[in-house]
Amino acid sequence: MSIRTAVIGVGALGQHHARILKQHCNSILKFVVDIDEKRAKTIAKLNRTEYLTDFNKLVGNIDAAVIATPTQYHYRVAKQLLCAGVHCLVEKPFTLSIIEAEELIKISKNKNLILQIGHVERFNPAVIVASSFINNPKFIEINRLGSYDCSRTNNVGVVLDLMIHDLDILSFFLRSKVTFFEAHGAKVFSDTEDIAKVRLKYTNGCIADVSASRISIEKYRKIRIFQPDSYISIDYAKKSLKVYKKRNTNKRITSFRDISFENPKLPSNEPLFYELDNFINSVIKGKKPYVSGEQGKNSVELALNILQNMVF
């Protein structure tokens, strides 16, 4: 079974959504949409499909859509499509307010539609495999550093742009709520925070230090997880996973021979493929997506709370 799909917003990320939806065996990419007609036409030609500059013309012609517009348009576009009976994958951050997120969730439930949020790191093979090694983490350190991109700074700051990925991953790994946090940030090149550091404490006692920057020279995206008997290292960018464990949990470590090392083999497909595959299958089978609207809303709520209490 195949479904008719479209991508709304074919910028840096949306173009890749279009590429994968064109290639997926259960997707018929009917349209790409962008207010920049030249851009829309270019991406449509690359994917041998049609283009539009007005997303309203999609209604009645597609079954599902990926919304990859700037965040401030997520709510308006998603609301109109959901009300018209179109299943939606909304890129992260879900919305810019909790009220908007709750309304979209309500519409999707009332109309029995799939509403998935684009937290693509959930589909990173290293993250998926690492989840099986998680066992009572005590401390987690995450660093997500990237270079300055003028096309992204007019939208949101680094917390909603980059750190929100890691807030979602922490929720996924810990299955626990935040009881306390402190946040610090700095505006360097833009009017919003370009660098941020947050320490969070969870109900299960775990402490997480999360750093995000968009003013770095090189990309650096790693997470380190420390547990009573093991250390887990994930490289988001390289999609690699390393696990160090005590061979005998009851014995004190006296040399490296007391530590075992695993470097699990990971699936090779790109995370965005797995995300879109999950979306398409959720639509076809009518099952809950891996990253639901509620989960997307929770990440936005924590990110907004962090921003409201950030010390500059």
- Predicted pLDDT at 152: 58
Name the pLDDT band for 49 (thresholds 50, 70, 90).
very high
* Contact between residue 124 and residue 239 where contact means Cβ atoms under 8 Å apart: yes
**Fold category of 3-119+271-291 in CATH:** Rossmann fold (3.40.50)
- Predicted pLDDT at 254: 63
- Predicted pLDDT at 258: 75
Q: Is the pLDDT of residue 11 over 70?
A: yes
- Predicted pLDDT at 268: 86
Give the tens place of pLDDT for each residue, 86-134: 999 999 999 999 999 999 999 999 999 999 999 999 999 999 999 999 9
Structure-block tokens of residue 74? 């997520």
Find how far residue 131's CA is from the centre of its chain: 16
CATH fold match for the domains 3-119+271-291 and 122-269+302-308: no
Give the tens place of pLDDT for each residue, 130-160: 999 999 999 999 999 988 776 655 678 999 9
- Predicted pLDDT at 257: 74
Give the tens place of pLDDT for each residue, 23-40: 999 999 999 999 999 999
Regarding pTM above 0.85, the answer is: yes
Structure-block tokens of residue 41? 């036409």
Query: In this structure, which CATH number among 3.40.50.261, 3.90.1200.10, 3.40.50.720, 3.30.360.10 belongs to the domain 122-269+302-308?
Result: 3.30.360.10
Tell whether omega for the bond before 93 is within 30 degrees of 0, i.e. cis.
yes
Rounded to whole angstroms, how far apart are CA atoms 227 and 292? 28
The residue among 289, 277, 286 whose CA lies nearest residue 5 is 277
Name the pLDDT band for 217 (thresholds 50, 70, 90).
confident
Residue boundaries of the structural domains of the chain:
3-119+271-291, 122-269+302-308
Give the three-state DSSP class for 112: coil
